[in-house]
Chains A and B, each alone.
Chain A
């Protein structure tokens, strides 16, 4: 059973200390959600776990089944079982989705083994169908010219095929209209098993209408400041975050400087609806 354990994690980007002591433990079969206002370090946590070169870990540890994640390269983390569905995945013109996903699956096999082409095509076609994506997806270039919603669904498609033991979904709901949100929710829910741990990072609670989370954490000032269950999520949905700030005596919850928050670049659902 997979266990991801984060202890007292501190990380910075350039001059800015962003993560200031994160503690979190996720086990297979569990679903956690991290909520919080913009700029509090949620996406940074996801990026640091995956090893984005922009961030530098200054203290703390991350382990997967006892193995030190922080000493692994990004690709080693992925092959160890971690998966991050990114908020703004890169576009890679010239590389087809099919070639990319096949390479990623082959990377998990011993050096002299390749995934069977027949099996691969069958699995890929099935996933395209499940996510209700365009049939020509395998032949299109990776995320190139994709709408915001197509990119998000492509992340989930990769997750289905790569079968990670711990998956982190970073703002998977941004840029999705209600129908797309339902499709994504169904696909993620279908993956749930005792060997699969899930961490949802979200600004709004609406994704939690489609994907059930048993533990809800609130992030402020680069730490998880409050933990609860669905009742906590409902309270946030109804009353926002101010009551938590009052309760904890937090005046400024932000750690990411204004304007550098990738979330502010996200696309709104209305635009997405027009695009598709």
Chain B
């Protein structure tokens, strides 16, 4: 086991990462290799279970991040994943009791990539995690990114994920709330264009009473792309006083692009507060008119509305290193 100081942004404070690099390339004859070979043949991300199983079976690289009990880091941890070819990686995040941590994660690649990434995170009692994770892989990439969280009593998770690259992607967030008074807030933003396909799933299961789960999906689909949001809140019997909320908002920019949202609630308890909804459509004409009535050109008004719509990305825009890149990507992807 080697200890690595991860410092992806040069002069930024990094963190001690205990990790083991097992393989640099995908070993032949493993289930993962088979899965990706199948992917290459069929062109389309594999199912989530298959991907997670394959990842467990043949981890090419693993990072373990442990935040000790009661630790509070004053600055966010930056994690940069930059790789080539194909990668099979697992990140294990262990946040101990009452620890607080901010994580800013960025996926990138210079060349097309096949990626199977799994995050397994556990939050102990009273832990607080703010996790922002943005993927921007180039076209002709195929990625699966699965993020699994377990929450103990009184812990709190605020997760923001974003897909602003050109990869065909299948991503999921799965949160299991195992302790009472724990809360999970999951925000997902996706921006697709050209012939890109993205399927994004957020699933929160309440296995403890008085727990809170919030899912928010925001999407913009341009050109001929396809974007789908699948959201589920599950409250088991006896988990009284729990809250499950979900919202889906989307803008369809392209003439032939498609944006689907399937908000689901599975409730087996009557003493709960649950709601879900979806609002998908073209850019609001009244908003456009209002902005233009103040002198903004149609182009500029649309740009402002889309940027505003993607406000959950603002956590990344606060980072100087990323904000320029993101604004550029938004302009390229929306043509605005």
Contact = CB atoms under 8 A, between A and B. Distances in A.
Interface in A125-141: 141
A79 B295 contact: yes
Interface stretch (B96-104, B133-141, B305-313): B305-313
Interface string B278-311: 0000001111011111111110110011011111
A74 interface: yes
A104 B305 contact: no
B289 A90 contact: yes
A93 B296 contact: no
B307 A107 contact: no
A86 B286 CA distance: 11
Given A86-B290, A100-B304, A94 B296 contact: no
Nearest to A162: B294
A93 B308 contact: yes
A107 B305 contact: no
A260 B264 CA distance: 35
A94 B287 CA distance: 12
Interface string A246-270: 0000000000000000000000000
Contact of A93 (B285, B286, B311): B311
A50 B291 CA distance: 12
A92 B310 contact: no
Given A53-B285, A141-B308, A92 B298 contact: no
B285 A99 contact: no
A52 B310 CA distance: 26
A94 B293 contact: no
A221 to B, nearest CB: 26
Contacts of B304: 92, 95, 99-100, 103
Chain A at the B interface: mostly helix, strand, loop or mixed?
Answer: mixed
Contacts of B298: 73, 75
B52 to A, nearest CB: 33
Chain B at the A interface: mostly helix, strand, loop or mixed?
Answer: helix
A161 to B, nearest CB: 10
A90 B290 contact: yes
A107 B289 contact: no
Contacts, number: 78
A158 interface: yes
A193 B311 CA distance: 40
A240 interface: no
Contact of B286 (A50, A90, A99): A90
B305 A50 contact: no
A162 B295 contact: yes
A218 interface: no
Contacts of A53: 285, 289
A3 B172 CA distance: 60
A215 B294 CA distance: 27
Interface in A144-176: 158, 162
B311 A78 contact: no
Contacts of A107: 294-297, 300
A254 B161 CA distance: 53
Given A90-B284, A92-B290, A104 B311 contact: no
Contacts of A103: 296, 300, 304
Contacts of A48: none
Contacts of A162: 294-295
Interface of A: 50-53, 73-75, 77-79, 83-84, 86, 89-95, 99-101, 103-104, 107-108, 141-142, 158, 162
Interface pairs A-B: 4 shortest CB-CB = A94-B308, A95-B308, A94-B311, A78-B295
14 contacts: A53-B285, A53-B289, A75-B293, A78-B294, A83-B293, A86-B293, A90-B286, A90-B287, A92-B287, A92-B290, A94-B307, A104-B291, A107-B297, A108-B295
Given A74-B293, A95-B308, 16 more contacts: A75-B292, A75-B296, A78-B292, A84-B293, A90-B286, A90-B287, A92-B287, A92-B304, A93-B309, A95-B307, A99-B304, A100-B291, A104-B296, A107-B297, A141-B308, A162-B294
